[in-house]
């Protein structure tokens, strides 16, 4: 059983609202077992926070700073999984009526007007060129995931591997002189080569699964549940004492995966609407897990610590909701 229902000032199994760069400093050192996150992609975010930088170098530098702050918060044998998308140095400027001349789709005649390829809210990213910096040439694939990982390695992280997420239902792309993207990278980093990790069966380097939709408040950039589930499984250890952390919690998918695995969760998210929606989703998952465990253990033990933690988190979350509603 976890010794406390909090990790530093943060309640377990509840997403905290705020700026991750500020909140992370309040985490106790060596408190996180597994970090699973997907930072907002460069130029793909319409709201406040990371991903709206004009210069992709600033985008990478800001993320490096965050993970530099996170590093001492990781347990010595902890692991860090980062799913981050790349970007071409071209504008992102779809408009609602662009479907009329789009070449997207299998027959290159466009998709339905309401498809998220056109309707997804996006930051109106422009290409960022610098004639003195060759990799900032217009049209170049910027290799942002690798620039981040190399930078983190320079900051003392160990790069331990790359997993290719092969998408079963990739977003169709328009007519272009380059390969159509059907994958994303997921990078594994750690503080120490002797980190915990699943050995049998070995973790493969290609994971194939599709994207998915969830009911409730839309979140256009969430990863599917299978992704954090596999990342958490790869740690090789589960239980309430295993703390899973997501500094860009978004719709709370990492928290749901942590709940299903029987682990504790801490999440940070800057969007207050997503915080509320994700906490509802995470709480429902912990309560479902608690109910199942109570049912299965009622003839074994009168005390169920997982249910106690879930019930305590539920009370705190509901009290927070009532306070915010006033």
User: Percent of the chain having pLDDT more than 90?
Assistant: 65
Distance (Å, whole) CA 24 – CA 71: 10
DSSP code, position 74: E
Is residue 105 scored above 80 in pLDDT?
A: no
pLDDT digits (tens, 9 = 90+) for 185-200: 999 999 999 999 999 9
Peptide bond preceding 201: is omega within 30 degrees of 0, i.e. cis? yes
232 contacts 263 by C-beta, under 8 angstroms: yes
Query: Pick from 250, 278, 255, 253: which is nearest to 265 by CA?
Result: 255
Structure token pair of residue 45: 């975010």
Of 86-100, 180-194, 291-305, the range with the highest mean pLDDT is: 180-194
Other Cβ atoms closer than 10 A to 57:
17
Structure token pair of residue 261: 């695995």
219 contacts 254 by C-beta, under 8 angstroms: no
* Confidence (pLDDT) at 161: 98
Distance (Å, whole) CA 321 – CA 277: 11
Query: Pick from 264, 227, 314, 316: which is nearest to 2 by CA?
Result: 264
Is residue 98 scored above 70 in pLDDT?
A: no
Place of tokens 């253990």: 297
Q: What is the mean pLDDT of residues 131-155?
A: 98
76 contacts 30 by C-beta, under 8 angstroms: yes
The SS3 call for residue 15 is strand
Distance (Å, whole) CA 201 – CA 209: 19
Is residue 170 scored above 90 in pLDDT?
A: no
Structure token pair of residue 213: 């939709």
247 contacts 66 by C-beta, under 8 angstroms: yes
Comparing 103 with 195, the larger pLDDT belongs to: 195
Place of tokens 């997503």: 274
* Confidence (pLDDT) at 165: 97
Measured CA to CA in angstroms, residue 252 lies from 37, 68, 148, 292 at distances of 10, 23, 24, 21
Is residue 326 scored above 50 in pLDDT?
A: no
230 contacts 202 by C-beta, under 8 angstroms: no
Is residue 304 scored above 60 in pLDDT?
A: no
pTM of the model: 0.86
Alpha helix stretches (DSSP H) within 142-187: 144-154
Distance (Å, whole) CA 235 – CA 190: 11
Distance (Å, whole) CA 49 – CA 20: 9
Mean pLDDT of the chain: 85
* Confidence (pLDDT) at 175: 73
* Confidence (pLDDT) at 294: 76
271 contacts 279 by C-beta, under 8 angstroms: no
Secondary-structure class of domain 6-91+131-325 per CATH: alpha beta
């Amino acid at each position: 059983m976890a010794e406390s229902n909090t990790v530093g000032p943060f309640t377990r199994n509840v997403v905290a609202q705020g700026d991750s760069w500020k909140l992370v400093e309040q985490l106790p050192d060596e408190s996180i077992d597994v970090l699973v996150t997907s930072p907002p992609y460069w130029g793909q975010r319409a709201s406040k926070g990371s991903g709206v930088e004009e210069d992709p170098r600033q985008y990478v530098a800001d993320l490096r700073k965050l993970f530099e702050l996170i590093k001492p918060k990781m347990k010595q044998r902890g692991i860090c999984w980062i799913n981050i998308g790349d970007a071409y140095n071209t504008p992102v400027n779809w408009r609602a009526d662009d479907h009329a001349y789009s070449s997207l789709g299998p027959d290159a005649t466009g998709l339905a007007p309401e498809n998220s390829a056109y309707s997804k809210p996006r930051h109106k990213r422009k290409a960022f060129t610098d004639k003195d910096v060759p990799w900032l040439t217009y049209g170049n694939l910027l290799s942002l995931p690798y620039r981040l990982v190399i930078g983190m390695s320079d900051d003392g992280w160990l790069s331990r591997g790359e997993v290719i997420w092969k998408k079963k239902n990739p977003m169709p792309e328009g007519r272009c002189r380059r390969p159509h993207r059907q994958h994303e990278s997921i990078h594994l980093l750690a503080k120490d080569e002797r980190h915990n990790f699943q050995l049998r069966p070995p973790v493969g380097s290609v994971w194939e699964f599709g994207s998915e939709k969830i009911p409730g408040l839309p979140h256009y950039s969430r990863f599917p549940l299978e992704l954090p589930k596999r990342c958490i499984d790869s740690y090789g250890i589960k239980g309430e004492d295993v703390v899973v952390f997501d500094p860009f919690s978004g719709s709370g998918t990492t928290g749901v995966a942590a709940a299903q695995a029987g682990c504790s969760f801490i999440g940070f998210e800057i969007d207050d609407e997503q915080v509320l929606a994700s906490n509802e989703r995470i709480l429902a998952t912990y309560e479902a897990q608690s109910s199942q465990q109570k049912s299965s253990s009622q003839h074994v033990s009168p005390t169920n610590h997982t249910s106690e933690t879930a019930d305590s988190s539920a009370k705190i979350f509901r009290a927070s909701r009532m306070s915010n509603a006033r």
